[in-house]
Amino acid sequence: MFCPDAFVSGALEMKHAGDLMALLRADPERLRIIALVHSLHLPDCWIAAGFVRNALWDSLHGRAPSSPSGDIDVIWFDPSQQNAEADLRIESRLNALDASIEWSAKNQGRMHVRNGDAPYQSAFDAMRFWPETATAVAVRYTDNGDLEIAAPFGLDDLYAAIVRPTPRFAAEKRAQFDDRLQRKKWLSRWPLLRIETDVHSRASVA
């Protein structure tokens, strides 16, 4: 049984980190899923994106965190494995643990090719090139049973209910950011969200 303690990725402790840890610790289903992923012992492995973001947005709207739905985004990093079949094998292992979950495993050591970027140096580095600052948040268990949060743009935007493009998506990939806003329909589900496009006022990297 894990007894997670707050532990924050990055050189500086991020504002709001303790609150986010408490929110996750109070969510047995999310803790169960984090434990399942940890049991595979994949290199530089996290659960990211909506798994964390949606729980916090629910909380900001006065709701209990909804059960994780849609893809559970499992990211890991191994640049020596450039074949997508490795991801499929991981998804198969996760399905064997819980087939009711829609698992999506992506080795960030190869995703730079699809995204047209320079090679990423880690899963944390890869998240800097994701579409929104509030989406670039991930969680995992450490081997000591602590919870660890990775958030290259910090947590300020997430806690301010701000949907802001990361620098790459504010510039040459802006059309993809706008398309995501239309497809995801986040404002319908979380009406307190605000769209901000000024990357200069985004949270600092932690």
Residue 172 clears pLDDT 90, i.e. is over it: no
Give the model confidence (pLDDT) of 58-102 as tens digits.
Answer: 999 999 888 887 789 999 999 999 899 999 999 999 999 999 999
Asked if residue 203 lies in contact with residue 155, where contact means CB atoms within 8 angstroms, the answer is: yes
The pLDDT of 180-198, averaged and rounded, is 93
* Burial (CB count within 10 angstroms: exposed 0-12, middle 13-18, buried 19+), residue 70: exposed
Read off the pLDDT of residues 21-69 as tens digits, 9 standing for 90 and up.
999 999 999 999 999 999 999 999 999 999 999 999 999 999 988 888 7
b (16+ CB within 10 A) / e for 143-163: eeeebbbbbbbbbbbbbebbb
Distance CA 47, CA 45 (A): 7
Among residues 109, 114, 50, which one has the least CA distance to residue 76?
A: 109
Cα-atom radius of gyration of the chain, to the nearest Å? 16
Mean residue pLDDT of the chain comes to 88
AA letter at 175: A
Classify burial at 200, counting beta carbons within 10 Å of its beta carbon; exposed 0-12, middle 13-18, buried 19 or more.
exposed
Q: For position 198, what pLDDT does the model report?
A: 81
> Is pLDDT of 173 > 80?
yes
* pLDDT at residue number 14: 67
Inter-residue contact 76 to 40 (CB < 8 Å): no
